[in-house]
Structure 1
Amino acid sequence: MHKLRVLLILVCLWLVPGMLVGVPDAAAQNFETRAAQAFLMDAETGAVLFAKNADDLMVPASMAKIMTVEVIAEEIRRGRIDENTEFVISEDAWRRGGAPSRGSTMFAEIGSAIKLWDLLRGIIIHSGNDAAIAAAETIAGSEGAFGRMMTQRARELGLTQSFFTNATGYHDPDQVTTARELALLTRHFIETSPEIYALYGEEEFVWNDIRQRNRNPLLTMGIGADGVKTGFLSESGYGLVGSAMQLDQRLIVVVNGLENARDRALAARRLLEWGFRAFEPRTLFEAGDEVGSARVYGGEINYVPLIASRDVRVLLPRGTDERLSAQIVYRGPLAVPVRAGDEVAMLRVMRGDALALEMPLQAAQDVGLGTLSQRALDALWELGSGAVRRAIFGSESG
């Protein structure tokens, strides 16, 4: 850490109710893309390397199937389905999503029953609409009900702008998402469902004696790509969510609104290659190092040390000696008891006015109830500091 030629200025920011702290994204230097929406992030740190119209609502097309698979994964986690569960291809699934539809299909036969892992391959590798509809009908009873499950899952993951109405990605004016939220969803899925995510890297799958190759063009480009999903509708243009690993670094890219499949592949590849080439990781704190402290109210000590559960790393443009600033943000003072390992604060590292890293901090030790005299002193301190906060931020209403 002492070898870094990076100046880190650390301050604590104590939130009061109703106070919001906004941070802008990093802006790409000397990089342009023809995509209508584009987003590039580092999977480990969450650092945003590039953003273009990243929060604009857009039509996801088949990229919505990433959430379809996330809902299936959540059903597995909750024990509601397992590898022996069978998904029956209904007449509706066959007509709207199978061979008669002339769209992306697994070519499953009407009335056939498909086991879980084959169904997942049909959705992930073939982008099979028949498989997606069968999953929705088996899990939720109808595709509409499954769409509501998809939206509910989005909210549980903190995705506030995405709305889903179907499992296939077929156009519906109410089915929308953003480039940022697709990237965040993909990051979550990679972290929580590695066994299923591995299917995204499989290059082909044979079902019903029909061999189909994975539709993701990044997989054969030799750039370390192992996912994720393409999409196209006339209402959306050509889009792609991709992810690649190079030298233990994973990047996630989203592009949408391209004119053709070639432009889509080129735009995603160029962003990934630029991200790997233009940035390098720097370690600010190692896992377990004390990063700062948080004020405690009524405890046996006044401040609890804060640590990170993993290395605190940021991505910086290669060859730069930039000045960084950091904030420890928490709603405080913390109430006792505080338990070691509790996530009680958030570390935000800024590169200029751009967010370089955001990650949770944990209490390094237990803090129990203080003595009566300690609590009395804390009450007096809180009374005085509360008056100062009200003078600065104003009183709450309602």
Structure 2
Amino acid sequence: MQRKTLSLLPLVFAIAAGTLVPDSVSFAAPPAAKQATQKKAEAPAPAPAAGQTAVAGGAPTLPAKAWLLMDFDSGEILASANPDEPLPPASLTKMMTSFLVEQALRSGKLKKDDLVSVSQNAWCRGSSTESCMYLPLNSQATVIDILRGIIVQSGNDASKAIAEHMAGSEEGFAKLMNAEAKRLGMTHTNFVNATGLPDPEHKSSARDLAILARAIIRDSSDYYPIYAEREFTYNKIKQGNRNALLYTDPTVDGLKTGHTQEAGYCLVTSSKRNGMRLITVILNTSSMKARADETRQLLNWGFANFEKATPFQPEAAVTTAKVSYGKADTVAAGVGAWSLTVPRGQKVSTSVQVKPDLEAPVAKGAVIGKVVAESNGKPVGETALIAQADVERAGFWLRLWQRFLKLFGK
């Protein structure tokens, strides 16, 4: 009976995305008493959080405890409310679990067909208190199936099993998670487990989760399409992805949902429209429908209020930099591919900063300074200034003559 229920879920999701099953429970249909308990557990909507943004009209006000909108290309925060408050991340934690698996696959430490054992500790007992991939006890599953079970099915069993496989224990894996969080610059995060199950010390922030989402999209391109998969069947049990926007918005291609009673309903999403990718984070809102609606509102607001700007074309000369003690006195300098996301209609100005006392030799492609972009009087991005030609070091007598001229200010 349970399997029949599971097989119908993707259809239910596609028809009514707002009625998705919470991440903290399995897909087995609970008894009526449990259903009533779950309904009661849904928290009232948090007080609307007004956001900060550079847009003249201000940011939307969303009934979530914290939220954030990030430009993927630059990593710039376009709008946010309480972005650095450490909060329970629930199953959003599994983004770090999956990211570590993806990086291990990329480096060769893991292979897709490696077998992962399911211990007593990792095994889900079929209760309705947690989400499961339904790995049988003492069975083995391939790494790539485990990865899908983490991302699509939000399996706590899959997360624990791979943690034990990679680090010997979930505690050891949490140390790897925290080391990676530190490397990425996630300064308000502390992981205690691989699943996001409640623990007073297990916290993350909207900004940190956006940083992690950006790293997944940027560094796990071979595996990122899994985050857009709507369903996954394992052990003859089909389960649907809980990200409602995957069923209703074709521009959305990830990333992860989360829910516990303490964390509320959470969602990290990425959407790409007309060449611009935005990342959203919604933390601690009141329902599955609310997290989808608020994400949709934030994405629509972001794409309506921001646009891409390209201050310079790649390979175009931006400036001519003076070079001391070279066979040439100057070198042309430019930037690589560089685009910014700025409020619509705002002009972008740039300033060039060349390294002081630039001396030959200078290699083509060397970074010799930076270009800073401003909009409405505020910095909106910067990029490296790159030498567009080689400048060889002058011979002894020419350098001596140049020093003489410098001495007399000529």
Question: What's 2:272 paired with?
Answer: 245
| Shift, 1:41, TM fit | 1.9
- How much is the aligned-residue C-alpha RMSD, in angstroms? 3.0
1-side partners of 2:355 and 2:250: how far apart? 42
Aligned to 2:134, the other structure's residue is in SS state: coil
2-side partners of 1:375 and 1:193: how far apart? 53
Q: Is structure 2 residue 67 aligned with structure 1 residue 43?
A: no
1-side partners of 2:372 and 2:282: how far apart? 26
Contact 1:28–1:49 (Cα < 8 Å) also in 2: no
Q: Is structure 2 residue 272 aligned with structure 1 residue 279?
A: no
More strand by share: 1
- Structure 2 counterparts to residues 130-149 of structure 1, below 5 A: 130-149=157-176
Choose which of 43, 48, 57 in structure 2 pairs with 1:29: 57
1-side partners of 2:258 and 2:400: how far apart? 59
2-side partners of 1:276 and 1:326: how far apart? 24
Q: Report Cα offsets for 1:206-253 as digits up to 9, x if no partner.
A: 111111100111111225111000112333222111011222221111
Q: Report Cα offsets for 1:73-129 as digits up to 9, x if no partner.
A: 2212221111121111111001xx552473011011111111121111100000111
- Structure 2 counterparts to residues 263-302 of structure 1, below 5 A: 263-292=290-319
Q: Is structure 2 residue 381 aligned with structure 1 residue 352?
A: no
Aligned to 1:227, the other structure's residue is in SS state: strand
Question: What's 1:233 paired with?
Answer: 260
Contact 1:26–1:48 (Cα < 8 Å) also in 2: no
2-side partners of 1:201 and 1:378: how far apart? 62
Q: 1:99 to 1:85 in 2, by over 3 A?
A: same
Q: 1:100 to 1:265 in 2, by over 3 A?
A: same
Name the aligned partner's letter for residue 168 of structure 1. T
Question: What's 1:339 paired with?
Answer: 363
| Shift, 1:173, TM fit | 3.0
Question: What's 1:53 paired with?
Answer: 82
Of residues 102-111 and 120-129 in structure 1, the stretch that sits farther from structure 2 once superposed is 102-111
Gaps of 5+ in 1: 1-23, 385-398
Question: What's 1:315 paired with?
Answer: 341
Q: 1:135 to 1:353 in 2, by over 3 A?
A: farther
Q: Report Cα offsets for 1:354-380 as digits up to 9, x if no partner.
A: 443344443333344445564896799
Choose which of 95, 100, 114 in structure 2 pairs with 1:66: 95
| Shift, 1:351, TM fit | 1.7
2-side partners of 1:99 and 1:379: how far apart? 84
| Shift, 1:171, TM fit | 2.5
| Shift, 1:273, TM fit | 1.0
- Structure 2 counterparts to residues 151-230 of structure 1, below 5 A: 151-230=178-257
The normalised TM-score by structure 2 is: 0.77
Choose which of 78, 81, 87 in structure 1 pairs with 2:107: 78
Q: 1:221 to 1:135 in 2, by over 3 A?
A: same
Q: 1:85 to 1:303 in 2, by over 3 A?
A: farther
Q: 1:263 to 1:375 in 2, by over 3 A?
A: farther
2-side partners of 1:317 and 1:289: how far apart? 25
Q: Is structure 2 residue 258 aligned with structure 1 residue 256?
A: no
Contact 1:294–1:333 (Cα < 8 Å) also in 2: no
Q: 1:305 to 1:179 in 2, by over 3 A?
A: farther
Question: What's 1:4 paired with?
Answer: none
Contact 1:55–1:178 (Cα < 8 Å) also in 2: yes
Question: What's 2:36 paired with?
Answer: none
Aligned to 2:122, the other structure's residue is in SS state: helix
The normalised TM-score by structure 1 is: 0.79
2-side partners of 1:273 and 1:324: how far apart? 23
Larger Rg: 2
* Number of aligned residues: 355
Q: 1:150 to 1:359 in 2, by over 3 A?
A: farther
1-side partners of 2:322 and 2:120: how far apart? 62
2-side partners of 1:371 and 1:338: how far apart? 15
Contact 2:103–2:220 (Cα < 8 Å) also in 1: no
Aligned to 1:226, the other structure's residue is in SS state: strand
| Shift, 1:185, TM fit | 1.9
Q: Report Cα offsets for 1:137-175 as digits up to 9, x if no partner.
A: 111111111111112122323333333222111223333
2-side partners of 1:89 and 1:280: how far apart? 48
Q: 1:305 to 1:92 in 2, by over 3 A?
A: farther
Q: Is structure 2 residue 120 aligned with structure 1 residue 91?
A: yes
Q: Report Cα offsets for 1:281-313 as digits up to 9, x if no partner.
A: 232211222334667676555665443321x32
Q: 1:327 to 1:108 in 2, by over 3 A?
A: farther
Tell me: higher relative CO, structure 1 or 2? Use CA pairs within 8 A at least 6 residues apart.
1
Name the aligned partner's letter for residue 348 of structure 1. V
Name the aligned partner's letter for residue 90 of structure 2. A
Name the aligned partner's letter for residue 73 of structure 2. E
Aligned to 1:195, the other structure's residue is in SS state: coil
Contact 2:72–2:277 (Cα < 8 Å) also in 1: yes
